[in-house]
Amino acid sequence: MKDTAVILSDEKQIDVFKAVKKQKLVRFLKGMLFLMPSIVLFSLFLFYPLGRTIYLSFFLTDGSGDPTVFVGWENYLNLFTSPIFLKSLRATFLFVLYTVPGTILVSLFLAILANEKLKGIGIFRTMYASTMGISVAAASVFWMFLFHPTIGWLNQILQALGFNSIGWLTDPQWALLAVSISTIWMNLGFTFLIMLGGLQSIDRYLYESADIDGASYFYQLRRITLPMLSPTLFFVITVTFINAFQTFGQIDMLTRGGPQNETQLIVYSIYQEAFMNYQFGPASAQAIFLFIVILLLTLIQFKLGERKVHYQ
């Protein structure tokens, strides 16, 4: 009888184990069913292009992009001996250095102003966020007019003040800075809205307590606003940083990589190599190199920057 009871007990445990296993399988299949649209879209538009780019980076290709000769790591090694690519790499890092801090600082300043409870402040909030609704092409045309060497408003202002005109988009010394200024203006709308949302989510009780203690405005800004805004700042810096490395539209519209390749960022160099020179192998190698650079720098940013983030 005891042996029979043990056998029945073991059979029950097996049945329970099978039922649990079946339940887990059903849950997994249901989860995969919900994820299937995303998996299909990611596979078509992300995983396959990434895999294809890695594959092509080891080949020379014909005009239609079909691989012809396997060259191994030669496309990657040629990057570091190409003066044009090295110049593109330098221009890209300078562009990131100009645009990321500029965008963050200007957006933060405007967001702090717009967060004040003043009469008619809604009009200014709308003005500051308006660039978010303007396409890169339209904004580039607007800045192309401002930077025009003869009829542009910027040069007319300089001449009225007694200064010489500047070739904003034609002078190698000014072209990258001019494109950076236009990019900062284009990015203000998004970063301003995110910053303003972060400021409005800070508990007002903290400021009321600081006012009771007699803390000055700038002390509150340094000790309350910036620490409480750090998660938003971390997010905005990360997104702006990645977008700066991927800038293309305004370069194509304003300078087409000139003058003297001073504004030829890596993404524009990839476009030029692939769709103008039909060298898809070297272009793919540049794309993979850019992907690795962005990935490594983003990981470093997460490693170092997240330590200073204060969550409420």
Name the band, by pLDDT with cuts 50, 70 and 90, for residue 4.
low
Distance in angstroms (rounded) separating the CA atoms of residues 118 and 124: 10
Write down the pLDDT at residue 124.
Answer: 85
Distance in angstroms (rounded) separating the CA atoms of residues 135 and 28: 42
Half-sphere exposure of 105 (CA within 13 A, CB side): 6
Q: Which CATH number fits domain 82-308: 3.40.720.10, 3.90.420.10, 3.40.50.1100, 1.10.3720.10?
A: 1.10.3720.10
Write down the pLDDT at residue 306.
Answer: 72
Helix (H, G, I), strand (E, B) or coil at 134: coil
Cis peptide before 259 (omega within 30 of 0): yes
Name the band, by pLDDT with cuts 50, 70 and 90, for residue 7.
low
CB 75 within 8 A of CB 58: yes
127: number of Cβ within 10 Å: 13
Which position has the token pair 């962005």?
A: 294
Residues 190-226: tens digit of each pLDDT: 999 999 999 998 888 888 888 888 888 888 888 888 8
Give the mean model confidence (pLDDT) for residues 121-127.
Answer: 85
Write down the pLDDT at residue 74.
Answer: 93
Name the band, by pLDDT with cuts 50, 70 and 90, for residue 254.
very high
Write down the pLDDT at residue 8.
Answer: 47
Question: How remote is the C-alpha of 20 from its chain's centroid?
Answer: 44
Give the mean model confidence (pLDDT) for residues 151-174.
Answer: 90
CB 115 within 8 A of CB 200: yes
Residues 11-48: tens digit of each pLDDT: 666 767 777 788 888 898 888 898 899 889 988 888 99
Residues 67-84: tens digit of each pLDDT: 888 998 999 999 989 999
Of the ranges 150-164, 236-250, 298-312, the best mean pLDDT one: 236-250
Name the band, by pLDDT with cuts 50, 70 and 90, for residue 239.
very high
| Whether pLDDT at 5 is above 60 | no
